[in-house]
Amino acid sequence: MHSLSTLAFLIGALVVSGGYCHREVETRSLDQIYEAAKAEGGVVTLWAGGDEKDQQNKLKDAFEARFPDITLNLTVDLSKYHDGRIDEQLAAKNLYVDATFLQSLHDFPRWKSQNALLNYQPLEFKNIFDEFKDSDGAYYGVFILFWSNIWNTDKIDAASAPKEYTDYLKPAFKDKLALTYPNDDDAVAFQFDLIIKQYGWEWFDDLIAQNPHWVRGTATPSTLLSPSLNNVYGATFTSEIGLASSGSLNISFPTKGQFVSWPQTGAIFADAPHPEGAKLLTNFVLSDEYQKASGWSVRRDLPGPSGYPTIFDMPGTNVTAFRDFMLDRAAVERLRFRFEDKIGTAQGFSPLVDDL
């Protein structure tokens, strides 16, 4: 049975005019959309959620290589800052962003209710998991993000390697944890919420006693663990490096606990200055070419990445739970202030360049 918040996300606030909701269903090929995007001006502006400016360079490089006559103007910043700036543009009727990919899943039903989103069903719309998309195509998942256990084998011995969240309370992790402030990022807050519901606030108090290094930004912890940096930080569970270990950085997923995963969600704005460019970008991101190279897919017709099942079949995670968490803003704020009371306000820039 779907919760009310799940239904709110799936249905959205219906955009109607005289009881009729217009949907644009894409039937053109990628190459045909490419020609339309070139004729439009050959540019598309995307605001993407993230902590570090280069986090979506892979997307920019792949898109511009595939469509060399189109420029992707890409700005990466925290989703919680992007959405406010988008609201300002919408209120001023001076929108210059074409599309956005954000973590703030609660924003999309609201924008739909304001008639701010284009009801557009891209080529692979039918194959996107129903749980990830608005029925009219106003918004949909574009790729899967998640957190995992990550540790540096040069700093954490094999016997202490973390598998469950209780492992981080071992003496081996004293002063060696790099963790994102849970009161500064909603997806991190949700990870801590899941752990605390399983092990209690005593676990969090014991974690604080480990003297973790709190940072802003979820890319920062895994960067701090990098073998190229001369520091003591050896482990985190508020970041990700992909689905495979790399060099001395190893990953694992809990078997008793839950890790956070969610569909980063995208939309094209109804008044986008470059709608054809935005459609080209969206269709590219949802294509076989991009989805197969991006880990877990938002499409049900594609298999899980090598060595893994699909995200819905992956043990230890509920890929729709974060959406429900995000829709209850009052509960999120209460949790945020409880974390803040225990560890203080988030300090430093995001990302913490000075720490690197």
Mind listing the pLDDT tens digit for each residue in 5-19? 454 455 443 433 333
Alpha carbon distance 144, 80 (integer Å):
18
Question: Which CATH code fits 4-145+262-314?
Answer: 3.40.190.10
Q: Which fold has domain 148-259+322-355?
A: D-Maltodextrin-Binding Protein; domain 2 (3.40.190)
pTM of the model: 0.90
Alpha carbon distance 350, 50 (integer Å):
10
Q: Which two tokens mark 345?
A: 């306000």
Q: If you compute the radius of gyration of the chain from its CA atoms, what whole number of angstroms results?
A: 21
Give the per-residue pLDDT at 121.
98
- Residue carrying the six token digits 């094999």: 158
Give the per-residue pLDDT at 134.
98
Contact between 260 and 147 (Cβ < 8 Å): yes
Q: Which residues in the chain come in under a pLDDT of 50?
A: 1-2, 4-5, 7-8, 11-20, 352-356
Give the per-residue pLDDT at 16.
37
Mind listing the pLDDT tens digit for each residue in 194-205? 999 999 999 999
